[in-house]
A and B are shown apart, each in its own frame.
Chain A
Amino acid sequence: MPEAPEVSIAAASEGGYPVLKEDLSPAGAGVPTFKHSRLQRLADRWAHLGFLICSLLVVGLIGGILYFLATRGLAAFLPLAGNTGRALSFSEVFLSADWAPSSDRFGILPFIAGSLGVTGLALLIAAPAGILTGVFIAKMAPAWMRNLMRQVMDLLVGIPSVVYGIFGLTVVLPLVSRTWLADAPASGFAVSALILAVMIVPTIVSLSTDAFESLPAALDEGAQALGSSRWQAIWRVLIPAARPRLLTATVLGLGRAIGEAMAVQMVIGNNPQWMALMRESTDRAPFLRALFTPAATLTTELVQELPNTAAGSTWNNVLFAMGLLLYLLTMVLILATRRLGRGKEA
């Protein structure tokens, strides 16, 4: 970034503009001031207003989404006039695993746990693989391989989620079921997480490649001058130095994974009762069994049930509360990346 001049005389002298010191403004002492026609000045001011309105629209959208989701999502907990059902308490929704909407029981814990589970598993694969691929692209690969990897990641990120879903459904599920499960159905956390991992890996790769490329060259050179091997320099110097931005990359990957709906919905099996199923199972390897138990997440349940519920019903309101939860989670994650970014400068 070139040094920003403190005051911009030309802008300040021109018809009541605030003093701006940004990139596209006329700037610097000694810049001649021009007399612009009235029309020019008018156009300038109206354009400024127009651009401002566009930006405010974006800000308004953030608030608008929150407002509308909250009016519907919180309606489940409030005794409002339009509600057809009773008002629920927070604990019977967020702390209960009992999801039986037709019997008036709305515990969404299975979906929260499902989202966390499948996201966690996906990150377990995608974070190490993505970060290592990032360092490979930035610090090890020859130029042709770097270009190839960029193109591969561009294509992977561009594939629509329904196509990932159909691939999972028609290729991965039958394959896993045939080879490992003696033809038992394979839908559940394992395959969902695998598909999700491939979907979020481009995000993690591109952000961590940037992170490694923006490290000062002296770090790498210094490590090598002190006699470290390629891998030692990567493991002991480069990865620790890039850690804040690698964490940011992982958090953004997490955000993408937790919000993905269609691909997961097509392979996870959509069983809201998965926690009960697990509890009753007498399996000796419950964790392994959980990987191939049909389950459900916040997003998949929304896709699955939203079309079948009437607006204003408690069931419908609880589904919107799940959407609100996802949105709030997004906000928390973005704020977390800000925190991480600030840690880097300190």
Chain B
Amino acid sequence: MNAAVPVFRRSRTSKVVDRLMRGVLWAIALAFVAVLILFVGAILKQGWPVLNLGFLTKMSETLDAGGGIKPQIFNSIYLVVLSLGISLPVGLGAGIYMAAYAGQGRALRFLRLCIETLAATPSIVLALFGMIVFVQAMGWSFSIRSGALTLALLNIPVITRVTEVSLLAVPRELKEASYGLGATKLQTILKVALPYAATGILTGLVLTAGRAFGESAILVFTAGTNASAQFPDFRLTVPGETLSVHLWYVTSDGTLPDAREIAAGTAAVMILVLLTLNLLVRLVDRAIRRRTR
């Protein structure tokens, strides 16, 4: 402590309370660390005996034991890619509009309100919307296309938000230099601002992919709880049960004799995928920071 800083004499109770509350705050924080370790540990431990190459590469069963999760892995990836393909252009466009065109006034505030509302809308409500519009009104029934479009609704607000924030963080000098060299607004956005913001947007994209990968409520009501018997089945019109839906369905349906094992294995696979994604984001982030430093 600096010599010039006055030293106070505190009452004993205030000292005791201070020490006690420091302990409480540390305990709460460490409790969350413990919860996470316990959680991941339990899921991996339950799933470990089930995890083997056969489980990952066999087709799933609907009535008999011994099924794998190959089609579900495919459907999960396929739906995430499709939904990102739909939501990325829309989210980027809306984000660019908000950062570069909407001004600072009422229009921007209203757009942000809409994005926040969409982001906070429960996925079961999006599922109902997708069910009314895509499954029933368009007559697409439970299919990959219904699922991908509804899942895109979940991604759009996140991508928009990330794009807007990353663009706003672009240094003013960079844009001014671009304009000073005679670039148009579009050129400045595409060739200066977006490349600078790309890493932020990319990180957001990976997180969005993780969220879409884990989503279940939306897909139960739009992509259905059946997986195609063909593999790989790229058709957009067939039902596409994903890993998360499979996990939920075998658990709540209960016709599979080995539902418990299948669910445990699926959960472990999902946790491993998400841990890998998380690590990926961290590594990319670190690499970029080292390069820019």
Establish whether residues A162 and B29, one from each chain, have CB atoms under 8 Å apart when the complex forms: no
| Mask of B114-136 contacts with A, CB within 8 angstroms, 1/0 | 11111011111110110111001
Q: Given A23-B172, A155-B274, 15 more contacts at CB 8 Å?
A: A24-B175, A36-B182, A48-B185, A58-B94, A58-B156, A64-B129, A71-B132, A72-B128, A158-B274, A162-B244, A201-B32, A229-B10, A229-B15, A261-B217, A330-B122
Beta-carbon nearest neighbor of B116 in chain A: A334
Which are the 10 A-B pairs with shortest beta-carbon distances?
A259-B122, A160-B214, A54-B93, A24-B100, A51-B97, A227-B8, A26-B179, A229-B18, A231-B21, A34-B182
Contact between B29 and A149 (Cβ–Cβ < 8 Å)? Answer: yes
- B251 x A166 contact (CB < 8 A): yes
Residues 89-124 of chain B, each 1 if its beta carbon lies under 8 Å from chain A, else 0: 111111011111111100010110111111011111
14 contacts between A and B (CB under 8 A): A24-B99, A55-B93, A62-B117, A65-B129, A68-B133, A69-B129, A152-B36, A163-B271, A167-B42, A231-B18, A259-B124, A299-B124, A323-B125, A337-B116
Q: How many A-B residue pairs have CB under 8 A?
A: 294
Among listed B48-56, B60-68, B227-235, B262-270, interface-contacting one: B262-270
Q: Which of A84-92, A131-139, A275-283, A287-295 lies on the face that meets chain B?
A: A131-139
Q: Are B111 and A136 in contact (CB under 8 A)?
A: no
Label chain B's interface by main secondary structure. helix
**Complex Cα gap A265–B122 (Å):** 14
Interface residues on A, range: 35 or more
- B117 — nearest CB in chain A belongs to which residue? A334
Chain A interface SS verdict (over half): helix
- Verify B133–A22 contact, CB threshold 8 A: no
A4 and B172 CA atoms in complex are apart in Å by: 11
Q: Is the CB of A40 within 8 A of B102?
A: no
Cα distance A20–B103 in the bound complex, in angstroms: 6
Residue of A10, A22, A151, A265 near B179 (CB, 8 A) is: A10
- The answer to whether A48 and B101 have CB atoms under 8 Å apart is yes
Which chain B residue shows the least CB distance to A252? B120
Q: Give A64 to B184 CA distance when docked, in angstroms.
A: 35
Is B28 located at the chain interface by the 8 A CB criterion? yes
A197 CB to closest chain B CB, in angstroms?
10
B residues near A198, Cβ cutoff 8 Å: 35
Contact, CB under 8 Å: B24 / A320:
no
Closest to A37 in B: B184
Interface pair A55/B97, CB less than 8 Å apart:
yes
Q: Which of A158, A162, A330 contacts B211 (CB 8 A)?
A: A158
Report chain A residues within 8 Å CB of B193. Answer: 24
Contact check, B123 vs A259: say whether CB atoms are below 8 A apart: yes
CA distance A152 to B35 in the complex (A): 9
Decide if B22 touches A40 in the complex (CB within 8 Å). Answer: no
B residues contacting A by CB (< 8 A) are 6, 8, 10, 14-15, 17-18, 21-22, 24-26, 28-29, 32-33, 35-36, 39-40, 42-43, 46, 89-94, 96-104, 108, 110-111, 113-118, 120-126, 128-129, 131-133, 136, 153, 156-157, 160, 167-168, 170, 172, 175-176, 179-180, 182, 184-189, 193, 207, 210-211, 213-217, 220-221, 244-245, 247-248, 251-252, 260, 263-264, 267, 270-271, 274-275, 277-278, 282
Pairwise interchain contact A136-B26, C-beta atoms closer than 8 A: yes
The reply to whether A311 and B32 form a contact with Cβ atoms under 8 Å apart is no
* A→B interface (CB under 8 Å): 2, 4, 10-11, 20-28, 31-32, 34, 36, 40-41, 43-44, 47-48, 50-55, 57-59, 61-62, 64-65, 68-69, 71-72, 129, 132-133, 135-137, 140-141, 145, 148-149, 151-156, 158-163, 165-167, 169-171, 198, 201, 225, 227, 229-232, 234-235, 252, 255-256, 258-262, 265-266, 299, 302-303, 306-307, 311, 320, 323, 326-327, 330-331, 333-334, 337-338
The residue that A165 contacts in the complex, of B93, B114, B248, with Cβ under 8 A, is B248
Smallest CB gap from A63: residue in B: B114
Inter-chain contact B129/A68, CB cutoff 8 Å = yes
Structural contact, A58 and B251, CB atoms closer than 8 A: no
Interface contact A166-B247, CB-CB below 8 Å = yes
Q: Which residue on A lies nearest to B214, using beta carbons? A: A160
Q: Are B29 and A55 in contact (CB under 8 A)?
A: no
CA distance A327 to B43 in the complex (A): 33
Q: Is the CB of A255 within 8 A of B271?
A: no
With A69-B125, A330-B117 as given contacts, are A41 and B93 in contact (CB-CB < 8 Å)? no
**Which residue from chain A places its CB closest to the CB of B96 in the assembled complex?**
A51
Shortest distance from the beta carbon of B152 to any chain A beta carbon, whole Å = 10
Contact in complex: B122, A261 (CB < 8 Å): yes
Contact B90 A57 (CB under 8 A): yes
Query: Could you say which of A27, A69, A140 contacts B22, with CB atoms under 8 Å apart?
Result: A140
Q: Tell me if A258 and B122 are in contact (CB < 8 A).
A: yes
Q: How far is the CA of A55 from the CA of B91 in the complex (A)?
A: 8
Contacting pair B17 A55 (CB below 8 A): no
For the complex, what is the distance from the CA of A61 to the CA of B86, rounded to whole Å? Answer: 14
Q: Report the minimum CB–CB distance from B96 to chain A (whole Å).
A: 5
